Homo-oligomer: A and B are copies of this chain.
Amino acid sequence: MDFSISDRMQQVTRRVRAFVDEELIPLERDYLTQGFRVVLDALREKRAKVKQEGLWLPQIHKEYGGMGLSTLEHGLVSAELGRSPLGHYTFNCQAPDAGNMEILIKYGTDEQKERFLTPLLAGDIRSCFSMTEPDYPGSNPVWMGTTAVRDGNEWVINGTKWFSTGADGASFAIVMAITNPDAPKHLRASQILVPIDTPGVCIEENTPSMGWRGEDWASHSRIRYENVRVPVDNILGPDGAGFLIAQDRLGPGRIHHCMRWMGVCERSFELMCRYALQRRVTPDHTLADQQIVRAWIAESRAEINAARLAVLHAAWCIDQCGPKEARVEISLIKFHAANTMMRVIDRAIQVHGGLGTTDYTPLALFFRNERAGRIYDGPDEVHKLSAAKRILAQFTEADV
């Protein structure tokens, strides 16, 4: 075992960190108090700068114009980017586009890649992933109501989705729909590429969440698909492979979230420490002199360190044997990292007192937005039960 970080990656993370500190954090207050659209122009410039610096698409293979980092290496970058809510977007490795890029690279035809992937990689367009439905449990991904029925050379899609992140302003959606209702349940659904401007696609609303409807990328839409017709060729991968591709997408997607959360942890931790050092509770003492605050700092540091290593270890497992073999590790860190993050954010807010509840630090955004991390991409409980099942199976086998 060797915990050292290569010179190259030390340099990369240092540069990314500096970029976040100097270019993105100054934009945060506008975002936090006025919304995402206000900073869109500035972010466009920052994105150009990221490209110039050769840090664009850290998670994508070099042949597709990315940095070609391994999962573990991207983990290190992602922990830096996650320090700002504007980080991943600016480097074009934000959900859901990053996941969409991955499956387009893996399953897309040349035509699909040219039309959908190329501008996505370039940052010229955005996309969304339309899987979750209001009337069906996200925890049971083989049970859904949206259908795509073949009619000649077209799919006719009907159904309602929500939590389609970033649909507002996106150019296309990847829609999960039942194409084979009578197949075994894991083979019923397919993924279909649907340009947002196709007739019948109706973004009913950006769902108000934790007080915000949000806008543009920073939003979660409810979309009605009403007799939406797209060419048969818009199917991604084989007919009936929707669930499989979704799994393929989610494995690394989960770890990308975990990595980002480590950045949220670090930022919250820094804010906590700095504020504690500076805030006077009497003319002679700061919060940093308080034992209880110190205990939180140590507890947070210990928990972040441990969670961070577990996330990087899971990333390493993916790099070694692929996401399928690393399923248990991924499930375990999914809930572990999310809960660690929420505890750290909570302590950081408490140290900030009233200020921690305002939008003058990113802590309040972290608190209300990242809470969903214990729910999306599989709630804590689903991951616990699924990991336990596999762990117990190992014991059964071992004992035979």
- Which residues of A approach B to under 8 Å, CB–CB? 1-5, 32-33, 72, 132, 134, 137-140, 143, 162-163, 207-212, 270, 273-274, 276-277, 279-283, 288, 290-295, 297-299, 301-303, 305-307, 309-310, 312-313, 316-317, 320, 328-329, 331-333, 335-336, 349-350, 353-360, 364-365, 367-368, 371-372, 374-376, 379-381, 383-385, 387-389, 391-392, 395-396, 399
Contact = CB atoms under 8 A, between A and B. Distances in A.
A184 to B, nearest CB: 15
Chain multiplicity (copies): 4
A265 to B, nearest CB: 13
Contacts of A298: 331-332, 335, 383-385, 387-388, 391
A385 B350 contact: no
Given A209-B359, A383-B298, A354 B138 contact: yes
Nearest to A384: B298
Which among A211, A291, A355 has the greatest number of chain B C-beta atoms within 10 A? A211
A305 B310 contact: yes
A191 B309 CA distance: 38
Contacts of A295: 292, 381, 384-385, 388
A142 to B, nearest CB: 10
Nearest to A210: B364
A388 B137 contact: no
B349 A281 contact: no
Contact of A371 (B299, B307, B357): B357
Contacts of A368: 210-211, 364, 367-368
Which among A274, A365, A384 has the greatest number of chain B C-beta atoms within 10 A? A384
